[in-house]
Amino acid sequence: MSGAGIDLGRSDVASLSDRERQDEVIRYLADARVRQSHTHTAPIAAEEAEKAGKFARFLARRYYRDRLHRSCRYSFLIAPQAAAEQVVDSAEFDAFLDQCALGSLESAVVVRDLALQRLGEIAAPGAWWREVLVYQGAFFLQAATSGRGDAKEMPRRGHSAVCLDFDWAIPQVLDRLKRGAAVDDSLRRPATLVFSRTAEGRIYVMEADAAAAAVFKALKPGIDVERIAGIPATVARETLASLAAIGAAVIDPVTR
Amino acid sequence: MPALREDRLSIGAFYNPHLAEELLRSDAVDHLAMADPPAADDAWFSRVQARFPLLLHDYLGQLADPLSSAQLARAAELQSRYRGPWVAEHFQCLHTANRSQSLDYVFPPLYTEEFLDRFVENAQTLRERVGAPLVMENIPGFFSVDHAQMSEGVFLERFFERSGCGFLIDVPHLWLAAHYAGRELREYLSEFPLARVVEIHVAGIEEDRDLEGPWIAPTLPPQEILDAAVWIAERAPDLRAVTFDAFSPSLTFDTLLEAVRGTRAAFGVQ
């Protein structure tokens, strides 16, 4: 997992500003590995470490409970007795807290998988159910990832961004679930969605056309997007700019 | 746009969108504090806004750091929308300066000269940009951090003196700060500039499994909290509003109503 504290020597610690010391406290609370390291530089006395650790667990449980609640509204409509956020009260989640790095993509993936495992035990109300869960999982990754990753190379995909192909017209399926309407086979048609999050924390779910899906899937450091097979250069440039605007692509250091 | 009442203390609550319909049917709540902007599909909000004075209590940005132009513009836009008598922020520093990590929950700054300067400067900038008075809310600590140069009470007193901002005193936050510092509440309160108080928050306190101790909860304010709130009010000549601070999908209207009625009774507001 990313986000471990920087190992500072004693002289470096002495020269820290108060603002930098506060950052050390934040890193200590956010990342279990920092708390477990013997080299952390947070100004927390040994006799306060146990209380700080309790507070860190409180923060993490609260954070993921909130993000699951926000991200799994559609499965809750179908099965309110099995809300996704109940997973934060499980023994598996308790064990995860000892490795949790709040807001990291790696931790979000662990919690998503715990939640999907639990929701997968619900009797499927229709053939579209599995895809609703996949949609919620992808949305959750955006909602529960505040880190922006360490990669510096451009262009690349947004840190938590994903592009998924569905067999059902998921936006319409979700709209029907929200309205309490039946989901029938008329909605069984392919849809491709890009899930992303901007540096400011705004989450987007965009229906991707063939060009957007192709550009996103081709994104990797150093690629010349104007040479993606089958996509005119002008379209590729505009598509890349659109993906960058929603945090699905990173094309310059400013948008990181 | 309704204005906060002038003839007596205003007793209100936070706007919980899932309770909007019942709020509109009730006459117990005088004002609503807005923790989030209304959702685009909130069909009730236009009626809520026409009916209640609204207090901006969103996350506008952490005043430990300079707010970005986008944050300042957003704060000004929200205030122009709600037109409340003041806007609120918190004494908090919850994300790193480079924003790479966040606690996603209120967390106090180190109480030092450097942070005092930062809060005063950034609060003044925010106040000027929104064009309305700014009130600042106290935030409890759960554990002690080394390197503090002054107590929470002294930090707040000096902040209010230098900035001219108002004090939004959160009584459960103070109760918790006193509890975890091993201090008696009234004695702890005596360090705070109560004459600066403009708004009071009351809320419930419940045991938390991780903390193995009490923490804020969206439940009824216990009598001890209401008694402390009244005690503060007697020392706060500029007090205008008391707000039941609960914002949660799990909050029921019955709890909200009972909390507001209990608060009205405690303050003798009919």
A196 pLDDT higher than 70: yes
Q: CA of A233: how far to CAs of A241, A242, B79, in Å?
A: 12, 14, 44
> Tell me, what's the ipTM?
0.94
H helices present in chain A, as ranges = 10-14, 18-30, 32-36, 49-71, 73-78, 91-96, 105-119, 129-143, 170-179, 210-218, 233-245
Q: What is the average pLDDT value for chain A, to the nearest integer? A: 91
Instruction: Give CA angle at B134 (B188, B179), nearest 5°.
Output: 20
Q: Is B3 within a domain?
A: no
Q: Which residues of B touch A69 (CB under 8 A)?
A: 249
Q: Which amino acid is at A229?
A: A
A152 pLDDT higher than 80: no
Question: How far off is chain B from A234, nearest CA to CA, in Å?
Answer: 30
pLDDT in tens, A50-83: 999 999 999 999 999 999 999 999 999 999 998 9
Q: Is B128 within a domain?
A: yes
Q: Which residues of A touch B112 (CB under 8 A)?
A: 18
> Which residues on adjacent β-strands are paired with residue B201?
B170, B243
Residue with tokens 């929701």: A119
Of A9-23, A138-152, B171-185, least confident by mean pLDDT is A9-23
Q: How many domains does chain B have?
A: 1
Chain-chain contact of A147 with B94 (C-beta, under 8 angstroms): no
**A-to-B residue pairs, Cβ atoms closer than 8 angstroms:** 101
Residue A254, pLDDT score: 55
Which of A27, A48, A55 has its CB closest to that of B101? Answer: A27
- Whether the CB of A26 is below 8 Å from some CB of chain B: the reply is yes
CB–CB of A32/A98 below 8 Å? yes
Q: Is B210 within a domain?
A: yes
- Whether the CB of A29 is below 8 Å from some CB of chain B: the reply is yes
Alpha-carbon gap, residue A133 to A123, rounded angstroms: 13
Domain that holds residue B256: 10-267
Query: Structure pTM?
Result: 0.90
Q: What is the mean pLDDT of residues B232-237?
A: 98
Alpha-carbon gap, residue A181 to B71, rounded angstroms: 39
pLDDT level of residue B233 (50, 70, 90 thresholds): very high
Alpha-carbon gap, residue B231 to B187, rounded angstroms: 12
Q: What is the mean pLDDT of residues A184-207?
A: 95
pLDDT in tens, B47-62: 999 999 999 999 999 9
Q: Which of B143, B176, B250 to mutate to test the interface with A (most CBs of A within 10 A)?
A: B143
- Whether the CB of B94 is below 8 Å from some CB of chain A: the reply is yes
Better-scored residue on pLDDT, A132 or A199: A132
Q: Is B161 within a domain?
A: yes
Q: What is the average pLDDT value for chain B, to the nearest integer? A: 96
- Whether the CB of B215 is below 8 Å from some CB of chain A: the reply is yes
Q: Which residue from A56, A58, A82, A59 is spatially nearest to A69, judged by alpha carbons?
A: A82
- Whether the CB of B39 is below 8 Å from some CB of chain A: the reply is no
Q: Is B171 within a domain?
A: yes
Of A200-204, B43-47, B134-138, least confident by mean pLDDT is A200-204
Q: Which residues of B touch A54 (CB under 8 A)?
A: 142, 210-212
Q: What is the CATH number of the domain that holds B127?
A: 3.20.20.150
Which of B70, B104, B110 has its CB closest to that of A22? Answer: B110
Which of A21, A51, A66 has its CB closest to that of B142? Answer: A51
% residues pLDDT > 90 (chain A)? 78
Q: Is B261 within a domain?
A: yes
Cis bond leading into A125, ω under 30°?
A: no
pLDDT level of residue A227 (50, 70, 90 thresholds): confident
Alpha-carbon gap, residue B63 to B268, rounded angstroms: 36
Chain-chain contact of B147 with A43 (C-beta, under 8 angstroms): yes
Contacts with B, A 195-234, CB within 8 Å = 199-200
Which of B101, B147, B208 has its CB closest to that of A26? Answer: B101
Alpha-carbon gap, residue A83 to B144, rounded angstroms: 36
- Whether the CB of B81 is below 8 Å from some CB of chain A: the reply is no
Residue A74, pLDDT score: 96
Q: Which two tokens stand for residue A169?
A: 């017209």
pLDDT in tens, B191-211: 999 999 999 999 999 999 999
Which of A3, A26, A31 has its CB closest to that of B95? Answer: A26
Alpha-carbon gap, residue B101 to B157, rounded angstroms: 30
A12 pLDDT higher than 70: no
Q: Which amino acid is at B137?
A: E
Q: What is the mean pLDDT of residues B133-160?
A: 95
Question: How far off is chain A from B171, nearest CA to CA, in Å?
Answer: 20
Chain-chain contact of A26 with B109 (C-beta, under 8 angstroms): no
A1 pLDDT higher than 80: no
